[in-house]
Amino acid sequence: MKALLLVAHGSRKASSNDAVEQLTAKLRDKLLASEFSEIEHAFLELATPSIPEGIARLVKKGVSQLVVMPYFLAPGTHVVDDVPAFIQAARQEYPEIVFTIVPHLGGVEGMADLILESADVH
């Protein structure tokens, strides 16, 4: 079973964290059209669930493959160092699960088109 973990930075503003939770709910509704059976979100810092908590939730559901998407626009320290460090620790804790980190959101194909489409609408 393949699952997606959306990892956001986390904020002191509840409304900002709520937006990530709402996006995850929206993604959950779309999962049937994808390869994923489950999705959870997690925060790098300042908010919960933490990354280990998000992973534990998916492990409980019986995932065998866990794809981590860093919900970050910039390839800064969080993307390059911090998220991979959490996943490395998770690999040791759950050796039976295959972890993959996909490129951070700012680096994906399609971002440029999404920006132009969104700006054109208005």
Catalog residues that contact a second copy under the rule CB under 8 A.
Answer: 4, 6, 8-9, 11, 13, 15-16, 19-20, 23, 26-27, 30-31, 33-36, 67, 69, 71-77, 100, 102-103, 105-122
Beta carbon of residue 76, minimum distance to a second copy (angstroms, whole number): 5
Q: What are phi and psi of 76, to 5 degrees?
A: -90, -165
What angle do the packed helices 83-93 and 51-60 form, to 10 degrees?
40
Task: Tell the smallest beta-carbon distance from residue 58 to a second copy (Å).
Answer: 14
- How far is residue 51's CA from residue 5's CA, in Å, rounded to a whole number? 9
Q: How far is the CB of 62 from a second copy (least distance, A)?
A: 19
Q: Are 56 and 93 in contact (CB under 8 A)?
A: no
